[in-house]
Amino acid sequence: MVAKKINTRKLFITLGILVVLLAYFIIVELPRKPDEEEKDRIFQFVLADVNKFEIIKNDSIIEVERMINDWRISKPRVLSASKIDVDAYISDIKDLIIEKVVGENLPDLAVYGLDKPKLILNVFTGKGKNQKMYRLSIGNQNPDFSGFYAKLENDPRLVILENFTESIIDKDVFYFRDKDIFKVKVTDVKEIDLSLDKTRYRLQREEGPWRLTKPVIKTNLKEEQVTRILLPLSELKARKYYDGPLKVSLAQTSLLFPPITIRLKADRSYTLTVGNEVKNEGVYYAKWTDNDLIFSIDKMIIDDLKKNMVELTMIEKEDKTMPVSQTNGGKQ
């Protein structure tokens, strides 16, 4: 067979075209992408510059502002805020993407429900003379129900944001509240004192390993046994706060004479009382001993705590039982 002669002219033309296309992609397309992505975002602020934001809906307002090292809720009333949840919220709203630009400088925004927006988000950056406010108004759904009309103040564009955008922006006070119960590290705890349905347990650690000192048994415990008790408590969070319009009385929660008390001692003592179960919600009422704020906590964590303490006591009783061969010198 005779080998086909390679057409070098066509080969060089093809290679030349590929080189030109590659050069165009590198020089034009790659530099353009970051700018296009930035333009697609509704907000153009820097995360670290945000010092306050407001959510306004139905004449009610939630205001969260930055403190020195943390955040706090300042409206509708002053409350501690969760830094993790607030930071996550700001990050989420910064990443909101414009689905479509409807037009610019449109004369009648009432057609789109923006004369009386159903939801307004104000984000403040900087301080004093350098303070800047980004005001985003959310209006009606568009005709095909794929999103909402929205407009950023001082931006001529009327845009459409996707449907899920509303749920990202519209949060209640509880979302931002500090929900951590025990603000203590597992490794810092030196004593655990529990009263679980009339049974008293106490675990202590000084220089050496943990010891179970109530009920009666005293023995060295494995670190993982105590961690299994402490870790869920350290991660315990409030599921709901019963203050404001949700306020309940101590009498209906059994917290006047609580069946369960949990005390952790580290640099200071943290004493939590647990009342009865909230019907059909999978939680217990609970409160600290030093204030009257009632909240709910996960029922499963408390039920597992009871089970783990019973099992721990049983295991240690077995460990204290000496085999017959060891108690009488091995004589039968």
| Within-domain flag for 4 | no
- Per-residue pLDDT tens for 101-115? 999 998 889 999 999
Q: What is the pLDDT of residue 331?
A: 44
How far is it, in rounded angstroms, from Cα 54 to Cα 164? 19
**pTM score > 0.85 for this model?**
no
> Is 80 exceeded by the pLDDT of residue 330?
no
Domain C-terminal end among 146, 176, 206: 176
Q: Do 161 and 224 share a domain, yes or no?
A: no
| Within-domain flag for 77 | yes
- Per-residue pLDDT tens for 148-177? 999 999 999 999 999 899 999 999 999 999
Q: Do 152 and 251 share a domain, yes or no?
A: no
How does residue 32 score in pLDDT terms, banded at 50, 70 and 90?
very low
- Phi-psi sector, 46: left (phi>0), alpha (psi -120 to 50), beta: beta
Asked if 204 contacts 213 with a C-beta cutoff of 8 angstroms, the reply is: yes
Q: Do 52 and 157 share a domain, yes or no?
A: yes
Q: Do 103 and 226 share a domain, yes or no?
A: no
Q: What is the pLDDT of residue 320?
A: 47
> Is 60 exceeded by the pLDDT of residue 39?
no
Mean pLDDT for the chain overall: 85
Average pLDDT for 205-214: 85
| Within-domain flag for 232 | yes
Lowest mean pLDDT among 81-90, 240-249, 319-328: 319-328
Q: What is the CATH number of the domain that holds 102?
A: 2.60.40
| Within-domain flag for 279 | yes
Q: Do 218 and 162 share a domain, yes or no?
A: no
- CB under 8 Å to 75, separation ≥6 — which residues? 54, 61, 62, 63
Give phi and psi for 108, each to the nearest 5. -120, 95
How far is it, in rounded angstroms, from Cα 311 to Cα 309? 5
Domain C-terminal end among 176, 200, 227: 176
Q: Do 141 and 228 share a domain, yes or no?
A: no
Lowest mean pLDDT among 110-119, 199-208, 229-238, 296-305: 199-208
Q: What is the pLDDT of residue 130?
A: 87
Q: Do 228 and 255 share a domain, yes or no?
A: yes
| Within-domain flag for 15 | no
Full strand arrangement of the beta sheet holding 79-80? 79-80, 71-75, 60-66, 50-57, 119-125, 132-141, 147-152, 157-162, 98-104
Q: Do 211 and 316 share a domain, yes or no?
A: yes
| Within-domain flag for 327 | no
Q: What is the pLDDT of residue 292?
A: 86
> Is 50 exceeded by the pLDDT of residue 209?
yes
| Within-domain flag for 29 | no
- Per-residue pLDDT tens for 64-113? 999 988 999 999 999 999 999 999 999 999 999 999 999 999 888 999 99
How does residue 33 score in pLDDT terms, banded at 50, 70 and 90?
very low
What's the angle, vertex CA 222, arms to CA 221 and CA 223, rounded to 5? 115
Work out how many domains the chain is built from and give that number: 2
CA distance readout (Å), 305 to 85, 135, 221, 298, 301? 27, 48, 16, 11, 6
How does residue 324 score in pLDDT terms, banded at 50, 70 and 90?
very low
3-class DSSP assignment, residue 105: coil
> In terms of residue numbers, what domain contains 83?
47-176
Beta bridge partners of residue 121, listed in sequence order: 55, 136
| Within-domain flag for 301 | yes
Average pLDDT for 300-308: 94
